Chains A and B, each alone.
Chain A
């Protein structure tokens, strides 16, 4: 079964608006990562946040991690049409030695 569950499954917003995606997981983790996938392509790493970090920024991306609630959020500010893609959270469960991916959020940016 998947470690991470993402919410919402699909999100459609206007260009320029902010997009927020959430991820919940079940077990203790070493780190949590976010990836982007354009339709039918490979995944591209966006950001990694370690279990002892609460917030991290990278350009227009902001990731938060709440280990007490076992949840994370990805915020994309000032969205662009090129941000249209599926976004996946991936957890590194302690002792698992592998990344476990959520089902993803399909983000559509309307021009």
Chain B
């Protein structure tokens, strides 16, 4: 089985721009979660999608949004980029279920905001 695929792997943007990151989960996995990783804050939960619905959301401003498509692929969007948005954005998928089981992570998208 192919793993979780994230694109692009690296990108550079300037303040005020917007960015869209993509995540393709493992085949058969219906849940996709997004995390932001920075040296200062560590791994912070952004949101989780399951069957095209946002099931859970972290404490991030409305500039951070996401969606999931019928094939379980997910995208996240950050609008009006700020310097502090520079981070590694990690996507993780799981089969789903009520309790949180093992997450399978992609390699991440490293965003640099200048």
A interface residue numbers (CB < 8 A to B): 2, 30-31, 33, 35, 40-45, 48, 88, 90, 92, 96-104
Contact = CB atoms under 8 A, between A and B. Distances in A.
Contacts of B100: 30-31, 92, 97-99
A91 to B, nearest CB: 9
Nearest to A2: B42
23 contacts: A30-B100, A31-B99, A35-B103, A40-B108, A40-B110, A41-B107, A42-B90, A42-B106, A42-B107, A42-B108, A43-B90, A43-B92, A43-B105, A45-B103, A48-B101, A88-B43, A97-B48, A97-B55, A97-B100, A98-B45, A98-B48, A98-B56, A102-B42
Chain A interface helix/strand/loop/mixed = strand
Interface range on chain B (Cβ under 8 Å from partner): 20 to 34
B63 to A, nearest CB: 20
Contacts of B102: 33, 45, 48
Contacts of A43: 90, 92, 103, 105
A100 B45 contact: yes
Interface of B: 4, 33, 35, 42-43, 45, 48, 55-56, 58, 88, 90, 92, 99-108, 110
Contacts of B110: 40
Contact of B33 (A30, A35, A42, A98): A98
Contacts of B90: 42-43
